[in-house]
Amino acid sequence: MPGGRTLLLGLMRVKELSILLVTIAAAIYFSTSSDAFNSVANYQTIAQYVAPWSIIAAGEVMLLICGEIDLSAGFVFALAPFLLMQFYVNGWPLALALLGAIVASMLIGVINGLIRTVLGVPSFITTLGMAFLLYGLVLIISGGRPVAAPKDAAVMQVFGGAKWTELLWAIGVIIVLQVILSGTRFGIHTQATGGNRVGAAESGIAINRIKVINFAVLGTLAGLAGILQGTRVGSYDPTNGGFDTMFFGVASAVIGGTALLGGTGTVVGAFLGALLLGIAFDGFNVLGVSANAFNVVLGAAILIAMILNVSLLVLRKRMGSRELA
Amino acid sequence: MNDDEVIRADGISKSFGPVRALTDVNLHVRRGEVLGLIGDNGAGKSTLIKILTGYHQPDGGSLLFEGEPVQLRSVVHARSLGIETVFQDLAMVDDLPVYLNLHLNRELVHRPIPFLRRREMRRRAREALDSIGIDIPSVTAEVGMLSGGQRQAIAVARSVYANARLLLLDEPLAAMGAKESALILRLLVELRQRGDLAIILIAHNYGQIMDVCDRVNLLQHGEITFDRPSKETSVAELLDLVHAEYRLKGSVSSAPDQIERDSGPAEV
């Protein structure tokens, strides 16, 4: 049946389809299992999980696609609010302190990128070292204690103070980065850099510049996400973020179809990955299942997503090649 | 110097640390001409190609491009002059579709907001492939799904589409079956007939070199030691030259047999 086959092939080309179906299935399961799941307050709780993970995931997707990873993002997340406070208590206007913290986060990304590209240290090692370094810095600056966030200041209303703003930022970031990834030369060059590093360089693409920019983008986003979350909660806590937040971001990206070895992935897929994790995390809480069970589900979800991705890729290639032969 | 000369290299040398890859290379190629560049593995062929394409800078010597002295600063600079290369690895991104690979690093964008002009790129890619007779069913197919011959053809089409004046092909027929080699050789013959392009072809199969090349250069120990029109030489003579080198080395091993086996007439 050629029509059916074409439809199947077309559906398989939509890389986010499988994760979208699983996310919808999870939402239906939890909403039918518990009435408490279907409330605005609960949706808000889900949004609180999803927003920081998906903002980090969006940046990690770009980096993973160009063949790199940043393990320090969760600590930029933790550090940025304290940098904001440092600038603020030293007399900077709040808006400027906020901008300063975001720029500093970006610079951490640039430093990661330069160590990776100019000195040739693998990103796994570079950013692992940076992660511990930043963690130490956060503890020194904060003295290991949380501080109250300037939540009521007008400017901070936009940055997590007002309800839903964190999620709106996340959605905005997802849309902008997805458009950049699939609609601009920079996005294509990011995919080319991860898909064929040597080939991209031979075509004249400045692969090192592409990588440094993507490290900087993730640094910026991680700083933003940290400030958004701390401001929403009303307190900046040095134990926020860390490896957990970073790995949830990476897990979201991978579950959403991003290849760990570079070349392919979508930001929208990563958002769906974060949404699935958020729904599962919240759903288990609502059902009263322990957090330990959630880890089992998370691990299984990553494995199943990867197995599905690999199998679908093989199938797509087989069907595609037959069609082109 | 001939008016038709597209590139001339004089005394080009290049070392990598203690290794002298090229000692004194003199080479030229004219518009409408296909120059076959042969030489043993490690003779410096790929280094020479990478210098001519701006990827490496030479330590010494000079380059003339269309009669003008030129220092190729980068691949992008060489491309801007019309020097295009099809590298051994093809510089193809498997996960991207054919039309984006054809436009790699030359993507068309809207103004003033620089979004990709995908529809226009698809149209032009189709035109470019059709104009040189390459049969690829879909320009939206991912390159990773195509055969080796199809990928090679797209790599050549990409260079031609970019208005190449000098096309460098680094072993385009390596690891390719008879049918796919024939596809590429037919493409080269077609490009030669157009007459507006100078081509340098590196290949190990001397039979194929004799079929499509107007002239043959042999690169040995970092120098061009043989330069003759292909009509005035033969596969046997080329083999003799390489055999002589092996005899000098005192190691007539299986390598010349390999060359002999590979050097039968190409099935075009």
Of residues A100 and A297, which shows the higher confidence score? A100
Dump pLDDT digits (tens) for B61-113: 999 999 999 999 988 899 899 999 887 777 899 999 999 999 999 999 999 99
What does the mean pLDDT of chain A come to? 90
Residue B2 has pLDDT above 80, yes or no: no
Q: Do A204 and B105 touch (CB under 8 A)?
A: yes
Largest separation between any pair of C-alpha atoms in chain A: 72
| CATH number of domain containing B30 | 3.40.50.300
Domain membership flag for residue B208? yes
Domain chopping of chain A, boundaries: 17-310
Q: Is the pLDDT of residue B266 over 50?
A: no
* A-interface mutation test, from B53, B105, B168, most A Cβ less than 10 A away: B105
Q: Place B191 in a pLDDT band, splitting at 50, 70 and 90.
A: confident
Whether the bond into B256 is cis, omega within 30 of 0: no
Determine which of A8-12, A261-265, B39-43, B46-50 has the lowest per-residue pLDDT on average: A8-12
- Domain assignment of residue B183, yes or no: yes
Establish, for the pair of chains A and B, how many residue pairs have beta carbons separated by less than 8 Å: 85
What's the helix, strand, coil split of chain A in %, to 5? 80, 0, 20
Minimal Cα–Cα distance from B44 to chain A, Å? 18
Question: Hey, are the CB atoms on B92 and A184 less than 8 Å from each other?
Answer: no
Q: Which element (helix H / strand E) includes A235?
A: strand A235-236
- In tens, the pLDDT along A66-82 reads 999 999 999 999 999 99
What pLDDT digit, counting tens, does each position of A258-300 carry? 877 778 889 999 999 999 999 988 998 898 887 787 788 778 8
More confident residue, B267 or B34: B34
Q: Which residues form the domain of B23?
A: 5-91+163-262
CA B109 from chain center: how many Å?
29
Q: Which residue of B95, B107, B137 is in closest CB contact with A324?
A: B137
Chain A residue numbers touching B104 (CB-CB < 8 A): 188, 192, 200, 203, 205
Nearest-by-Cβ selection for A191 from B96, B115, B138: B96
- Which chain A residues are within 8 Å of B89, Cβ to Cβ? 196, 198-199, 202
Output the pLDDT for position A98.
97
Chain A residues with a Cβ under 8 Å from any Cβ in chain B: 179, 183-185, 188-189, 191-192, 195-196, 198-205, 263-264, 317, 320-321, 323-325
Is pLDDT above 70 for A325? no
Residue A110, pLDDT above cutoff 60:
yes
Q: What's residue A261's pLDDT?
A: 75
Does residue B155 belong to any structural domain of this protein? no
- pLDDT at residue number A322: 60
**Over the Cα atoms of chain B, what is R_g?**
19
User: Which CATH architecture group holds A17-310?
Assistant: Orthogonal Bundle (1.10)
Higher pLDDT, A54 or A302: A54
Give the pLDDT confidence score for residue B33 in this predicted structure: 94
Inter-chain residue contact A196 with B89, CB threshold 8 Å: yes
pLDDT of residue A24: 93
Q: What is the pLDDT of residue A202?
A: 83
For the cut 70, the answer to whether the pLDDT of residue A324 exceeds it is no
Tell me the pLDDT of chain B averaged across its residues: 85
Residue from the list B74, B142, B150 with its beta carbon closest to the beta carbon of A204: B74
pLDDT at B252: 43
Q: What is the pLDDT of residue B264?
A: 38
Q: What is the reported pLDDT for B255? A: 41
Cβ contact, residue pair A203, B104, below 8 Å: yes
B256 falls in which pLDDT band (50, 70, 90)? very low
Answer yes or no: do A203 and B94 touch at CB < 8 A. no
Q: With bands split at pLDDT 50, 70 and 90, how would you rate the model's confidence at A212?
A: very high
Residue in chain A nearest B149 by alpha carbon: A325
Check if the beta carbon of residue B76 is closer than 8 Å to that of residue B99.
no
Q: Please give the tally of structural domains in chain B.
A: 1
Q: Which of B75, B114, B136 has the CB atom closest to A202's CB atom?
A: B75
Residue B41 lies in a domain: yes
* pLDDT value for B248: 61
Preferred mutation among A9, A184, A190, A196 to probe B, highest tally of B CBs within 10 A: A196
Would the CB atoms of A203 and B91 count as touching at under 8 Å?
A: yes
Whether residues B144 and A317 touch (CB distance < 8 A) is answered with yes
Quickly state the pLDDT bin for B183 (edges 50, 70, 90).
Answer: confident
The whole-number average pLDDT for the span B217-238 is 92
HEC states along chain B?
CCCCEEEEEEEEEEEECCEEEEEEEEEEEECCCEEEEECCCCCCHHHHHHHHCCCCCCCEEEEEECCEEECCCCHHHHHHHCEEEECCCCCCCCCCEHHHHHCCCCCCECCCCCCECHHHHHHHHHHHHHHCCCCCCCCCCEHHHCCHHHHHHHHHHHHHHCCCCEEEEECCCCCCCHHHHHHHHHHHHHHHHHCCCEEEEECCCHHHHHHHCCEEEEEECCEEEEEEEHHHCCHHHHHHHHHHHHHHHCCCCHHHHHHHHHCCCCCC
Query: How many Å from the N-terminal Cα to the C-terminal Cα in chain B?
Result: 34
Reported ipTM: the value is 0.84
- Assign residue B22 a region (left: φ > 0; alpha: ψ between -120 and 50; beta: otherwise): beta
